[in-house]
Amino acid sequence: AQTVTQSQPEMSVQEAETVTLSCTYDTSESDYYLFWYKQPPSRQMILVIRQEAYKQQNATENRFSVNFQKAAKSFSLKISDSQLGDAAMYFCAGGRGGADGLTFGKGTHLIIQP
């Protein structure tokens, strides 16, 4: 069984500052893929960043980066220079890829204070 855990129901950060969202996962699979998705009020799921669990190098996409700790099965998302448009629900998800669906965490509601 695969589990994905997000322990922060809500996070608040001042505009332009940095915030880190936590995620841990548990799987016995060696080939595993991890994702952070953003869900704004429109409810459209938007891919923020992805990481192959067999790679140690942390993924980076502009202001978004991950801190992937394979031994600890931790996959946190760091958002630098937070912007008002970053306000949304953020879901951590994992899966074996291919024909397997994703397992999602419960989500973190990110609030950006102007």
Partner 1 sequence: GAVVSQHPSWVICKSGTSVKIECRSLDFQATTMFWYRQFPKQSLMLMATSNEGSKATYEQGVEKDKFLINHASLTLSTLTVTSAHPEDSSFYICSAGPGTLYEQYFGPGTRLTVT
User: Which one of 14-22, 47-55, 61-69, 72-80 is the stretch in contact with partner 1 (CB under 8 A)?
Assistant: 47-55
Judged by CB under 8 A, how many residues of this single chain contact partner 1? 24
- Does 101 help bind partner 1 (rule: CB under 8 A)? yes
Six-digit token string for 48: 């923020």
Strands (E), 7-114: 10-14, 19-21, 24-26, 33-39, 46-52, 60-61, 64-69, 74-79, 88-95, 103-104, 108-113
For partner 1, the binding residue among 36, 68, 90, 91 (CB under 8 A) is 91
- Does 35 help bind partner 1 (rule: CB under 8 A)? yes
CA–CA separation, 19 and 107 (whole Å): 15
User: Which one of 21-29, 43-51, 61-69, 73-81 is the stretch in contact with partner 1 (CB under 8 A)?
Assistant: 43-51
Closest CA to 86 of 38, 22, 34: 38
- Does 50 help bind partner 1 (rule: CB under 8 A)? yes
* DSSP character at residue 85: G
- Give the binding site for partner 1 (CB under 8 A): 33, 35, 37, 42-45, 47, 50, 52, 91, 93, 95, 97-107
